[in-house]
Amino acid sequence: MNDLAYTGGNVADEADVIVVGAGPGGSAAAYHMARHGLRVLLLEKTEFPREKVCGDGLTPRATRQLIRMGVDTSEKAGWLHNRGLRVIGGGVRLELDWPELASFPDYGLVRTRLDFDDLLAKRAVEAGALLRTGVNVTGPVLDADGYAIGVEAKVGPGKEPTQYRAPLIVAADGVSGKLPLAMGLAKRDDRPIGVAVRRYYHSPSRTDDDYLESWLELRSAQDRDRLLPGYGWIFGLGDGRVNVGLGILNSSSAFGKTNYRAMLTDWLNTTPADWGMRGEDNADGPILGAALPMGFNRVPHYTRGMMLVGDSGGMVNPMNGEGIAYAMESGELAAEVAVQALARPAGADRERALSAYPAELKNRFGGYYRLGGVFVKLIGNPQIMRIATRHGMPHPTLMRFVLKLLANLTDPRDGDAMDRIINGLTKVAPAV
């Protein structure tokens, strides 16, 4: 614990670790750190429950992380289970079950972010973390050597300036990345990025679905022969509503030049009338959008007393746009490293331990994200996407391989031939 004095304003809640942002990554980091005995201060700028722009669908990879946090993922606990992914494209409708693996459960989940994030933050508190909401962190507190030793914040309705001190900071502040930016970590333009928009609709006929549904081809209601850029999804929520949205990648020529909200409406006007997704009558809230920072688009993931977790470090999977699983996984890894590092004295020995965090992230995901970058460039070409859809979709075995690859679901050892191919590709690919 540092003993630096602060003059002016308030100094509050010194801890072993300050986690900024109580999204899935921040709450996972706080939970695992607190469970190992660290004093954790979890700071969140909003109040719970609160909404987040998301597809609300979770693959088995994210489900595994929930189980590792001791979350009850049963349907009785309010989760809608799904068996796999339904893919629509090229005139084919294909249902692909999640693979049966030793490393991951064989089911995915759906739950809105409105109470999902609240639930994870409560798990962190139950493990011993101190959660403070309504705390808008504005930047890091740096020592004379440029190391983060705390954060500055505005607190409460009066926006009272306050400082919180700890020898280690975890930035889980999302795509905006205020803290990393203040440490000189800008986004990398050579990494993929996407944009997604989504809306809720009341749709009793589609709300209870055993599969997450992905549309590889989106057609315009104004011209059925015209393909819209991007991909779409329809995820039943089990409560009478669906989460419907679309995403587009920066490899597409339409990126940044398209009215995504109008495009979503255009596509939905092609859906059957009894689904209730045409017009405004069954809409539940506005169309909202968010950026998807992919493929480690901000590095390094540790520098001068600060670790980056989740979207703050650009950890969204370029293959499928999934962010929650990687946010939670990086949060758990950050906790494992932090526990070991903070058991060492401040200085070179502790820094050596903390350097294991970016090294292990690179080892786990670097090659896979490199493949994802190639994938993004390929599917950004409409001609290649059309050919792949038309010729790939009619072959279920090939599509099962594609599902494993895109969802990053393989057994590292003793897997089948598909697992060995995918694992081999990620090992030989140069890490990003």
What domains lie within the chain, and their CATH numbers? Answer: 17-61+113-189+295-374 (3.50.50.60), 193-293 (3.30.9.10), 379-428 (no CATH)
Mean pLDDT value across residues 79-108 = 96
Q: Is the pLDDT of residue 7 over 60?
A: no
How would you class 52 by CB atoms within 10 Å of its CB: exposed for 0-12, middle for 13-18, buried for 19 or more? middle
Dihedral sign from CA coordinates of 185, 407, 405, 261: negative
- Rounded to two decimals, what is the model's pTM? 0.94
- pLDDT per residue over 194-230, tens digit each? 999 999 999 999 999 999 999 999 999 988 888 888 8
- pLDDT per residue over 121-178, tens digit each? 999 999 999 999 999 999 999 999 999 999 999 998 889 999 999 999 999 999 989 9
pLDDT band of residue 13 (cuts 50, 70, 90) is: low
CA distance 209 to 206: 6
Query: 3-class secondary structure for 299-360?
Result: CCCEECCEEECHHHHCCECCCCCCCHHHHHHHHHHHHHHHHHHHCCCCCHHHHHHHCHHHHH
Enter the tokens of residue 183.
């440490």
Q: How far from chain centre, in Å, is Cα 62? A: 9
Give the number of other CB atoms < 10 A from CB of residue 137. Answer: 24
